[in-house]
Amino acid sequence: MKCPYCENEDTKVIDSRHTEEGHAIRRRRECDICGKRFTTYEKVEEMVLMVVKKDGSREAFDRNKIMNGIIKACEKRPVTADEIDRIVSEIERGLNNMMEKEVSSNFIGELIMEQLQKVDEVAYVRFASVYRQFTDVSTFVAEIEKLLGSKKKK
């Protein structure tokens, strides 16, 4: 690490500690030439995930958008805030583990529906109705029949 005072490239670490949040390491360093001390922080570089929307536009992944969509689908349903947070965290972790720079909004929507179907079928149908843009009652019925058909197979 280069010294910010004399720009010497040889510095030594005197002390290392985790930050309070545990997401970084604080290092106290000392320059071998000028003897001055300074602090550096080391943290994991996070890759920015881009979401490719249906119209082809791209935007940065936003955990809050997923959270808000699931909250709306689960409104007045017996789904706890902890369960919603778990679903969102699981989806976010899965997307980050894919190590892709871009992912389609369709893929994210399918992941959300897959998780909601396990937790609450009404919330699943609510989310699907908005996500898949149901236009009439027959589309609702077809989705419910598909849901009922998958239950019979189990």
Asked if 50 and 59 touch (Cβ cutoff 8 Å), the reply is: yes
In a domain, 3, yes or no: no
d(CA 51, CA 28): 39
In a domain, 89, yes or no: yes
The string of DSSP codes covering 111-126 is: HHHHHHHHH-HHHHHH
In a domain, 124, yes or no: yes
In a domain, 134, yes or no: yes
d(CA 28, CA 13): 6
What is the helix (H) or strand (E) element at residue 51, kind and residue range?
strand 50-52
pLDDT at 43 exceeding the cut of 90: no
Same domain, 147 and 123: yes
Q: Print the domain residue range for 77.
A: 50-153
Interval 57-108: pLDDT, tens: 999 999 999 999 999 999 999 999 999 999 999 999 899 888 889 999 999 9
- The pLDDT, as a whole number, for residue 152 is 65
pTM reported for the whole predicted model: 0.64
